[in-house]
Chain A
């Protein structure tokens, strides 16, 4: 499970560092211990760049801290923090900085076809890496649902809450994304 994986060794490692913090910062520290790893992976799935993913994850936690009063206890904190992170990622991808400075990379980020990242270059011939490349080559709206459903292991109901979309829309996108992936793999695109 995603949560089990998120509760990595960082939790105990960092609890000792921030013992004398105010309660809000302790709350943030706990939140980062609980979801930090998942959030940076989620951010990475949008931008496929380690440094940018780090910045986006950090920004997401700062926003969580700033908006902590807005969090309603009747909803899941996980979906809340995921939504904030995804919004941060989408804001970044929509930002004038990205459009102005990396117009060519933008296409790569959103529609990677045959350009595996340096991190995954050595995995090119592996079948699992083929699938990963295929996933990253999907259009943003299809990649998003695949990542959330298969990587983050979220249920359609949770994805609906995070993306604020209709359940049927999510199901349709999942179905279509899988068809595209199948075709890509069958064609041997990667």
Chain B
């Protein structure tokens, strides 16, 4: 048996394995398969890098669009601010917190409401003979905010207000009619009085009977200054 097995190799090569050959065709197949695998391996990183690049571009694009959108928004806000600063908003935009600007004598119209920069000592201090108007209130401003109540009754339907802001921040004012539903803020009165300035304002239209609040708000600092209001039966009587 051992001898027979020792001849196994020669026997198999001369018979069973006679036509089994590893030749150039097989070698070629090996190299071909290897090159195909290599091509796949090099293609994959390329595809990944393309995908990553596209994702990056998309991401950067999104950021840029966001940036420009926010810039546009800022510009838009700035424009609004400028418009507000000019206090030239048309009637019906009374909720804008327009900041009043101008030297003494400057008149700004905001719809039916007329604002005028006046001298610091021009506040009415007491009722004087010969004037038709009544001094409704004269108060000192302090604290973070204040609401001054006043009434409109009978024939005294016109009102003129003075605000002297001696603080370091602008004071936002608004006029509120609490007899109206939801305590509506009256359009056109909401403005910001700059620090160190005195302004007067009145509406060309008569106020309806009711209870009003003139609101003063500063928010992040204490107010300092004075405020006064005169009511009169006619528009002309406010300045008499």
Contact = CB atoms under 8 A, between A and B. Distances in A.
Interface of A: 2, 5, 10, 13-14, 17-18, 25, 28-29, 32, 36-37, 39-41, 44, 50, 53-54, 57-58, 61-62, 65, 117, 119-120, 123, 126, 128-129, 131-132, 135, 146, 150-153, 178, 181-182, 185
Q: Is the interface of A mostly helix, strand, loop or mixed?
A: helix
7 contacts: A10-B23, A57-B22, A58-B30, A119-B18, A131-B5, A132-B11, A178-B5
Contact of B26 (A5, A17, A44, A54): A54
Contacts of A61: 30
B26 to A, nearest CB: 6
Contacts of B65: none
Interface of B: 1-2, 4-9, 11-13, 15-24, 26-27, 29-31, 33-34, 37
Contacts of A10: 22-24
A165 B14 CA distance: 31
A181 B1 contact: yes
A123 B4 CA distance: 16
Contact of A146 (B5, B11, B34): B5
B31 to A, nearest CB: 7
Nearest to A131: B4
A62 B30 CA distance: 6
Contacts of A36: 22-23, 26-27
Contact of A50 (B15, B19, B34): B19
In the complex, the 3 A-B pairs of residues with the closest C-beta atoms, listed nearest first: A36-B22, A128-B11, A40-B22
B12 A151 contact: yes
B1 A132 contact: no
